[in-house]
Structure 1
Amino acid sequence: MKKVLYAFALSALTVLPLTVKADVTELKVPLGAGGFGFLPLHIMKEHNLIEKHAQKLGHTMKVNWSNIGGPSAMIDALLSGSAHFIAAGPPSFLILWDRTKGNANVKGVAAMSSMPMNLNTRAEHLKTIDDLRPTDKIAVTSVKSSIPSIVMQMYAVQKYGKDQAFRFDPYTVTMNHGDAAAALLSGSGGITGHYASAPLDQLERKSPGVRSIMNTDDVMGGSTTFTMISARSDFQQKNPKVYAAFVSALKEAQDMIAKDKSGAADILIASMGGSSKWSKEDMIAQLNDPTIKYTTKPENVMKYATFMNQIGSLKNNPKSIDELFFAGSDVAGGN
């Protein structure tokens, strides 16, 4: 756990004051890791939605969209003020919320997407993760703080008891999704399995011999937030027009995905480098999958929070979703 805290660099000493005194004229937003979970951000960028909604509020601004690496780099950017909104999975957000409580006070802005992740493998001996052997390695984006890491901890507690929460941690290795998929499909990357989300999940399972042995929604008990937006409290308070414009743009992007799957697929493929391995038909089919949702309403975020507090990953135990998110109708009714 000390390594996790160090990696996130969340001590109050690293939190630098923002110099913002009024609504910023340049908004800084990282595009995130890519794929289906971050599609609304690419829609917002392509259609200048934040700028449009800011203009409606009488504020002129531009958006600086950046590609900042992984979750740790984005968190550092948010804490230093070089990013104003960031997207991450609920576990990473919760650790950030927990460690900044009383200083930067990072809170959730809205959920962005809900979708499952599948643990894919071609290893014949693996029927469930209970069959893992000492030499097996499961690729996740971040050991101990990623969605799959927490889900495997939940599964371990459900099956083996609270004192076995970290039973499967030694089998996990940190690897980005692209490298993990390539290693799994080639059989030469030294990993036994990969926890993947769309579209790599579907691509992997089309390969002969690859199958899924665990689904995160099954462990979580239903549809669960996959990516969500967070911001520092001081930024939210000092930039009401920009904050409102961002939320309105996010909702419009989600509505656009629902109404125009073809257009969304074009932007999605372009955001992934326009590779020919992603057919538009496949992307549209996946966007029509009912397990892939774009909503501002948090789903099962409190379940993550309660569990992570119980096993000691969070010091603070939120009593309701209102402690985790800024007030607003967009998250009302979430859990």
Structure 2
Amino acid sequence: MAQSLNRWVRRGLWACVAALATTATAAQAEGRIRVAQQFGIGYLLLDVVREQQLIEKHGKPLGVDVQVEWAQLSGATVMNEALLAGSLDIVSAGIPPALVLWDRTRGKQNVKVVASLGSLPNYLLTNNPNVRSLKDLSDKDRIAVPAAGVGFQSRTLQIETARQFGAAEFKRFDTISVSLPHPDATAALIKGGSEVNTHFSSAPFYYQALENKQVRKVLSSYDILGGPATFNVLYTTQKFHDENPKTYKAFYNALVEAEQFVKANKAKAAEVFIRVQQSKLSPELVRRIVEDPENDFTVTPQRTFVYADELQKLGVIKNRATSWKDYFFEEAHALPGS
């Protein structure tokens, strides 16, 4: 079943890329931006930007009427493929996939990070009563992640696996990982009876799953990274950054304003998420997530360098970063990042 799931997900991802490619143009003109986000409340800043039309707002003082196109996809693989194919201008994923693309495009597309979207933990959950730690996972278990082997969850798990089992074993759990969007993985975990019995989950999905008494947390990404750390980021190519300075600035300023809005209006921000995502979650739950002190919706990067350092040691990326500023565009450099 794992193979069939992977085939199904791959077909879906490539279908999305093909659909997006039909709208791509050979050259981007200043004043147009195509942005893609994934699922979950980790993308709240983008929900605020979208509903309040903040990109358009910040484009006007710069003399640009920005035309914004939004897409919603699942998984780092399709994001990266679409960005390199020129089907999207700004994509979103966890910091590990962004670092891999930064590493592999140096001297070519020169992909770099625009901004953080927030520091939120991811929880490794299971409904298998025999799994209390990573050492209890076996070939009979299946771990659901949005992008098996390459996404935020897989890379985070690889870092912890290397610590517990040795660097040579860092891909130990890749063989039992399957690519599955968070909503589907959550449903499988809650319902039970599926071969997918473990899920490296993001908010709001782990909140939902943990309401089921058969589901429990094995570990948190914060445990692995040593504290609050950036979950997902936005990134783009040097070409888009350099050829569209006004549009880029409008986008970045929009993110900054969105952060300010969320921090000052958490209840209203929760309402924005429900409206934009057409979420069926209860307003009380969404507000609890937004107000949870573990969750910080900020453009400031936190502990991203842990990934850069650890993934370079494991050979996932070849180029060694000396600072987080090496893989972020200069607009973010004034922030107290890490």
Match of 2:303 in 1: 300
Q: Deviations over 1:285-332 (max 9, x none)?
A: 111111111111111211111111111111211111121011135663
> 1:37-74 deviations in whole A, cap 9, x for unaligned?
11111111101100000101121222111234532222
Which residue matches 2:286?
Answer: 283
Q: Is 1:82 aligned with 2:122? A: no
Residue 20 of structure 2: aligned partner: none
Name which of structure 1's ranges 263-272 and 44-53 shifts more when overlaid on structure 2.
263-272
The answer to whether residue 187 in structure 2 is matched with residue 179 in structure 1 is no
Paired letter, 1:288: E
Deviation at 1:248, TM superposition (A): 0.5
Contact 2:56 2:65 in 1 (8 A): yes
- 2:33 alignment partner, one of 27, 41, 53: 27
Distance 1:183 1:130, change over 3 A: same
User: How far apart are the structure 1 equivalents of 2:183 and 2:136?
Assistant: 25
2:80 counterpart SS class: helix
CA 1:68/1:214 → structure 2, altered by over 3 Å: closer, same or farther?
closer
2:272 is aligned with 1:267: yes
1-side partners of 2:265 and 2:325: how far apart?
A: 32
Maintained 8 Å contact 2:125/2:215: yes
Q: Which residue pairs with 1:3 in the alignment?
A: none
The alpha-carbon distance between structure 1 residues 219 and 291, as it changes in their structure 2 partners (threshold 3 A), is same
Cα distance, 1:68–1:140 mapped onto 2, change above 3 Å: closer
Q: Is contact 1:111–1:331 with CA below 8 Å preserved after alignment?
A: no
Could you list the structure 1 runs, at least 4 aligned residues long, displaced by more than 4 angstroms after superposition.
none
Secondary structure of 2:330's aligned partner: coil
Distance 2:295 2:219 in 1: 17
Secondary structure at 1:295 match in 2: coil
Q: Unpaired segments of 5 or more residues in structure 1?
A: 1-6, 10-15
Matching of residues 90-129 of structure 1 within 5 Å: 90-129=95-134
* Letter paired with 1:270: R
CA contact (8 A) 1:51 1:61 kept: yes
CA distance in 2, matches of 1:100, 1:281: 43
The verdict on how the C-alpha distance between 1:274 and 1:219 changes in structure 2, with shifts beyond 3 A counting, is closer
Could you say which residue in structure 2 is the equivalent of 1:56?
61
Give me the whole-angstrom Cα distance separating, in 1, the residues matched to 2:214 and 2:132: 13
| Deviation for aligned residue 1:236 | 0.8
Q: How far did residue 265 of structure 1 move?
A: 1.2
1:110, 1:330 within 8 Å by CA — same for their partners in 2? no
Task: State whether structure 2 residue 317 is matched by structure 1 residue 311.
Answer: no
**CA–CA separation in structure 2 for the residues paired with 1:189 and 1:98:** 37
Cα distance 1:18–1:323, how it changes in 2: closer, same or farther (>3 A)?
A: farther
The whole-number CA distance in structure 2 between the counterparts of 1:75 and 1:149 is: 16
Moved more, 161-170 or 280-289: 161-170
Evaluate the alpha carbon distance shift between residue 17 and residue 55 of structure 1 in structure 2; reply closer, same or farther with a 3 A threshold: closer
Q: Deviations over 1:7-34 (max 9, x none)?
A: 999xxxxxx99523xx52222112x112
Which ranges of structure 2 fall in alignment gaps of 5 or more residues? Answer: 1-9, 15-23
Greater shift in the superposed pair: 112-121 or 163-172: 163-172
C-alpha separation in 2, matches of 1:151 and 1:180:
18
Report the Cα offset of residue 77 of structure 1: 2.3
**TM-score, structure 1 length as denominator?**
0.90
Q: 1:155-175: per-residue Cα shift (whole Å, max 9, x none)?
A: 222222222222222221111
Q: What TM-score does the superposition give when structure 2 sets the normalisation length?
A: 0.89
Q: How many residues matched?
A: 320
* Letter of the 1:63 counterpart: V
Q: Note if contact 2:119-2:296 (Cα within 8 Å) is conserved in structure 1.
A: yes
Across the aligned residues of Structure 1 and Structure 2, the Cα RMSD in angstroms comes to 2.2
Q: What is the CA deviation profile of residues 123-168 of structure 1, one whole-angstrom value per residue up to 9, with x for unaligned ones?
A: 1111111111221111111112122212222222222222222222
AA partner of residue 267 (structure 1): V
Q: Contact 2:125 / 2:199 at 8 angstroms: preserved in 1? A: yes
Rounded Cα–Cα distance in structure 2 between residues aligned with 1:74 and 1:24? 22
2:111 maps to amino acid: V
Change beyond 3 A, Cα 1:88–1:331: farther
Percent identity over paired residues: 32
Hey, what does 1:39 align to over in structure 2?
Answer: 44
Compute the displacement of 1:81 (Å): 2.4
8 A contact 2:92–2:234 mirrored in 1: yes
**2:3 paired residue number:** none
